[in-house]
């Protein structure tokens, strides 16, 4: 969850972020806590649904006046997540696709691994997502993919 918040709040400090089982930046705004256990459950339950333009405005309000580049985002989410519901994956993708001005351009099943569905936005350099079938909240960290995304 913090990857999205940090990317929106400090876009000038980060080139790229990866996120596992997160929520769109600003989804928890006004909540008494930031974890699924202490927060207002509306966000974690996937009940905060906005248009891409609305999510973009939420993120841009986190750094008013910023006109520079935003970090590249790679996000993973299990399709059986009952702690941070999978609708949040879609909300993240809507937010960052609007920020980067890209649309869904490709979907591939079983890529890069069995049970993964790959979502490429634009040319795939600024936003990609991976939905993992039959996985709950704890998606395994894909360190090699993360390091590659970061250019390391």
Domain limits, the chain: 2-149
pTM of the model: 0.94
Taking the C-alpha atoms of residue 61 and residue 20, their distance in angstroms, rounded to an integer, is: 23
The position carrying tokens 């079938």 is: 133
How open is the CA angle 107-44-147, to the nearest 5 degrees? 50
CA distance between the termini of the chain = 23
pLDDT at 108 over 70: yes
Q: CA nearest 35: which of 71, 79, 5?
A: 5
Instruction: Convert the pLDDT of each residue in 46-102 to its tens digit.
Output: 999 999 999 999 999 999 999 999 999 999 999 999 999 999 999 999 999 999 999
Least confident among 33-37, 85-89, 130-134 = 33-37
- Residue 33: helix, strand or coil by DSSP? coil
Burial of residue 40, with CB atoms counted within 10 A of its CB: 0-12 exposed, 13-18 middle, 19 or more buried:
middle
């Amino acid at each position: 969850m913090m990857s999205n918040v940090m990317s929106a709040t400090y876009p000038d400090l980060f080139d790229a972020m990866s996120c596992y089982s997160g929520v769109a930046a600003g989804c928890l705004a006004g909540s008494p806590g930031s974890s699924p256990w202490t927060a207002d459950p509306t966000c974690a339950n996937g009940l905060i649904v906005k248009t891409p333009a609305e999510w973009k405005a939420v993120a841009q309000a986190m750094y008013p006046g910023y006109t520079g580049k935003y970090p590249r985002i790679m996000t993973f989410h299990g399709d059986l997540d009952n702690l941070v519901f999978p609708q949040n994956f879609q909300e993240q993708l809507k937010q960052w696709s609007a920020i980067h001005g890209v649309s869904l351009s490709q979907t591939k099943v079983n890529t890069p691994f069995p049970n993964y569905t790959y979502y490429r936005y634009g040319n795939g350099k600024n936003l990609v997502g991976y939905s993992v079938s039959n996985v709950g909240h704890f998606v395994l960290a894909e360190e090699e993919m993360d390091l590659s995304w970061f250019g390391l």
